[in-house]
């Protein structure tokens, strides 16, 4: 049986159902990332599990015990908050010691545990400071130390890296799994950052409209998104969602152009659909290519080591493409330099249909895929 | 050049405003060291032989007038002021702080109406309620008791405490309270160890303001008590005697009665300003 199991949980505020009939399970020691845009109900879900908010319906079962109506202080749950929620009138030491104080732990043991946690998170040198004297990174480490020191059976992390700078965020992203795995802690981690979700989660649960629209491994979510909204949330620049229509037996009409439909997809698409093509699956060429969509290059911006291009097809459809910075586009005749990004210019975009996602036009749901024939399966 | 002129103008204006407000106070202080003869001299003169007679009369309680000696127990009035104000503030804090927390944190049916009703006590002219109140007090044997007056003083101090402190509690992050609960502490411990310390500036400001308001109250004690329980504000009336008005003693009495609130206000100015402005915005 799962360690935490949430059963048909619902919570409404003034008839607005924030959490709707939500069920899921987390195994002991698992790292589950709850991912969703702001306003999707992530924080409410955590508060329901923490016991700050009581559900209208449904149950929360932790370690075999029904804790749905238990007070927060009786749940054995640790939590770290996006805004740190440190006690401003207590030193970092007292902040970390707070979960131990509530148990009336002996002085010497308490002292050892607090210093142990502070050491682990490398804040032992600022332990006598008040929160206002700490940097944001140190504040978050203090908050994490406080959440960890009592060795709770369940850890809730509410977007804890949101308010720290990029360097600390990266460090913590590497450090957190190591810290948590060592203790075999069961974690629910909430974030709005898809990269964080992909980097940290054993599984990712995508929250939308009060329910999980997909739960799966990071690879599954990225490679087989359950609907077009999820596909759009994972990836930067976001996936291109292009309206497509069946055009004859073997062709799709996309951006007023005909694109060959792979044979194995011929049963997937009946009449029209939404074609999801990730920017990295759009190849840009300055020479005409068979089956490519003629486009104007509207804008080019660097993104880390990649180059992102905004392309505009002749009928106005916008398409993002990205390619490694180092990769040169074949220079056209009389132009030795690749010259992308200097004003508008003509190009041809080839959409990699083999790797594309097919979604239903009306609901955005992923269209059923035919099983791969054995000889094509890798 | 013009900026220098502006600056000079600004200083002149500030001095004028300062004089306008402080001169009466200064004159009262001067009066308290004058005899009635000096005070009534026309035109008034700031040059006189200072005397401590007024203060001595107040402290000893013997007031000698042209028509004989009068016993005045002004020091007792001063003590009454202290008792009434301190008790009122303490009761208001004990009742008002938890109530303010409830109004800030929980949405319950009729909550806003209740909070507003409490505030509306401040709108009604006291005279309107005083006569019926006097009837009640006499029936209930509350007339002329500290208990009765402290009770009525809640009309002044409780709304103040409630509305100022409520704003501060609303500013205390719920996440901080939740974090403390999750640490394993009960709600009562959370209230005392987290909510109250974080709202302390507001509680201090509300306490001080209510103290000053209670101290300055005149009408309630005038009607609902005798000289046994009356504070300085009412006690000063005794200097209007059959044989004339003892301006010197009135001035000395005023100076004595202002000292406690003045000292409080000076040492806690920061809290007062904060509490007043924040309470006004949030309330």
pLDDT digits 0-9 by tens, B126-159: 888 888 889 999 999 999 999 999 999 999 899 9
- Alpha-carbon distance B27 to A375, whole Å? 107
- Of the two residues B208 and B240, the one the predictor is more confident about is B208
Q: Which of B179, B105, B186, B194 is nearest to A73 (CA)?
A: B186
Sheet holding A346-351, edge to edge: A282-285, A346-351, A293-303, A306-313, A318-324
CATH class entry, domain A229-359: mainly beta
Minimal CA separation from B191 to chain A, in Å = 13
A223 in contact with B, Cβ within 8 Å: no
A146 in contact with B, Cβ within 8 Å: yes
Find residue B64's DSSP bridge partners.
Answer: B69
At a CB cut-off of 8 Å and minimum separation 6, what does A153 contact?
A: A3, A62, A63, A76, A77, A186
Minimal CA separation from A214 to chain B, in Å = 28
What is the mean predicted confidence (pLDDT) over B209-231? 89
Phi/psi region, residue A173 (left: phi>0; alpha: psi -120 to 50; beta: rest), is: alpha
Distances (CA, A) of A358 to A36, A281, A366: 22, 14, 6
Task: Report the b/e string of A173-189 with b at 16+ CB within 10 A.
Answer: eebbbeebeeeebbbbb
- Alpha-carbon distance A342 to A318, whole Å? 19
pLDDT digits (tens, 9 = 90+) for A304-328: 788 898 999 888 889 999 988 776 5
Q: Which of B74, B45, B97, B135 is nearest to B257 (CA)?
A: B74
Interface probe with A: pick from B107, B180, B184, B191, most Cβ of A within 10 Å = B184
What is the mean predicted confidence (pLDDT) over B6-29? 93
- Alpha-carbon distance B156 to B137, whole Å? 18
Q: What is the CATH number of domain A4-227?
A: 3.40.50.300
pLDDT digits (tens, 9 = 90+) for A11-56: 998 888 889 999 999 999 899 999 988 888 888 999 999 998 899 9
A13 in contact with B, Cβ within 8 Å: no
Confidence of residue A298 (pLDDT cuts 50, 70, 90): confident
- Same CATH topology for A4-227 and A229-359: the answer is no
pLDDT at A67: 93
Interface probe with B: pick from A70, A73, A90, A105, most Cβ of B within 10 Å = A73
B181 with A71: Cβ contact below 8 A: yes
- Alpha-carbon distance A309 to A300, whole Å? 4
Q: What is the ipTM of this complex?
A: 0.80
Task: Provide, as residue numbers in chain B, all residues whose Cβ is less than 8 Å from the Cβ of A150.
Answer: 183-184
Domains of chain A, by residue range, sit at 4-227, 229-359
pLDDT at A37: 85
Task: Provide, as residue numbers in chain A, all residues whose Cβ is less than 8 Å from the Cβ of B173.
Answer: 83, 85
- Alpha-carbon distance B194 to A216, whole Å? 40
Q: Which of A236, A220, A237, A190 is nearest to A366 (CA)?
A: A220
Q: Is the pLDDT of residue A377 over 50?
A: no
Q: Which of A205, A226, A195 is nearest to A357 (CA)?
A: A226
Is the CATH code 1.10.246.90 the one for domain B74-282?
no
pLDDT at B280: 46
Residue with tokens 């005149």: B218
């Amino acid at each position: 049986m799962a360690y935490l199991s949430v059963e048909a949980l619902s919570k409404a505020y003034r008839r607005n159902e924030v959490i709707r009939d939500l069920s899921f399970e987390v195994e002991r020691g698992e790292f589950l990332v709850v991912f969703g845009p702001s306003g999707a109900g992530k924080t409410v879900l955590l508060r329901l599990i923490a016991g700050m908010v009581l559900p209208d319906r449904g149950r929360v079962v932790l370690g075999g015990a029904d804790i749905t109506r238990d007070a927060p202080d009786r749940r054995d749950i640790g939590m770290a908050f996006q805004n740190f929620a440190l006690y401003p009138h207590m030193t970092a030491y007292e902040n970390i010691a707070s979960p131990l104080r509530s148990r009336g732990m002996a002085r010497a043991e308490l002292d050892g545990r607090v210093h142990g946690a502070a050491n682990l998170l490398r804040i032992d040198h600022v332990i006598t400071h008040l929160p206002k004297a700490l940097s944001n990174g140190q504040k978050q480490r203090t908050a994490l130390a406080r959440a960890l020191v009592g060795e709770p059976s369940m850890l809730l992390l509410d977007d804890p890296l949101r308010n720290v700078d990029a360097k600390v965020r990266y460090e913590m992203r590497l450090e957190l799994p190591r810290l948590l795995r060592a203790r075999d802690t069961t974690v629910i981690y909430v974030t709005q950052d898809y990269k964080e979700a992909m980097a940290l989660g054993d599984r990712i649960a995508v929250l939308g409209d009060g329910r999980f629209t997909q739960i799966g491994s990071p690879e599954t979510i990225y490679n087989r998104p359950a609907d077009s909204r999820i596909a759009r949330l994972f990836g930067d620049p976001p996936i291109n969602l292009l309206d497509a229509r069946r055009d004859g037996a073997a062709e799709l009409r996309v951006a007023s152009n005909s694109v060959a439909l792979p044979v194995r997809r011929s049963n997937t698409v009946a009449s029209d659909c939404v074609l999801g093509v990730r920017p990295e699956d759009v190849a840009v060429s300055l020479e005409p290519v068979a089956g490519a969509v003629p486009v104007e290059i509207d804008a080019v911006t660097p993104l880390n080591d990649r180059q992102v291009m905004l392309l505009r097809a002749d009928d106005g459809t916008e398409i993002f493409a990205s390619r490694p910075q180092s990769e040169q586009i074949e220079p056209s005749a009389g132009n030795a330099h690749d010259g992308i990004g200097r004003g508008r210019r003509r190009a041809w975009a080839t959409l990699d249909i083999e790797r594309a996602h097919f979604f239903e036009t009306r609901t955005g749901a992923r269209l059923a895929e035919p099983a791969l024939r054995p000889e094509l399966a890798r | 050049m013009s900026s220098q002129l502006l600056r000079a103008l600004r200083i002149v204006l500030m001095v004028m405003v300062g004089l306008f407000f402080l001169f009466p106070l200064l004159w009262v202080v001067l009066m308290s060291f004058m005899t009635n003869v000096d005070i009534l001299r026309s035109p008034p003169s700031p040059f006189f032989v200072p005397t401590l007679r007024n203060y001595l009369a107040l402290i000893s309680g013997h007031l000698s007038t042209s028509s004989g000696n009068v016993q005045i127990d002004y020091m007792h009035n001063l003590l009454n002021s202290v008792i009434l104000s301190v008790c009122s503030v303490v009761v208001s804090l004990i009742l008002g702080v938890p109530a303010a927390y409830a109004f800030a944190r929980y949405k319950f049916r009729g909550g806003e109406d209740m909070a507003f009703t409490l505030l509306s006590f401040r709108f009604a002219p006291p005279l309107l309620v005083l006569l019926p109140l006097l009837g009640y007090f006499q029936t209930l044997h509350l007339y002329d008791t500290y208990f009765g007056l402290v009770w009525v003083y809640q009309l002044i101090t409780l709304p103040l405490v409630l509305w100022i402190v409520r704003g501060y509690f609303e500013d205390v992050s719920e996440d901080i309270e939740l974090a403390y609960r999750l640490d394993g502490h009960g709600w009562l411990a959370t209230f005392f160890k987290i909510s109250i310390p974080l709202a302390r500036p507001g509680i201090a400001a509300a306490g001080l303001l209510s103290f000053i308001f209670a101290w300055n109250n005149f009408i309630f004690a005038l009607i609902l008590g005798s000289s046994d329980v009356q504070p300085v504000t009412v006690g000063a009336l005794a200097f209007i005697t059959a044989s004339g008005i003892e301006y010197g003693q009135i001035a000395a009495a005023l100076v004595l009665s202002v000292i406690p609130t003045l000292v409080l206000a000076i040492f806690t100015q920061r809290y007062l300003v904060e509490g007043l402005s924040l309470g006004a915005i949030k309330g």
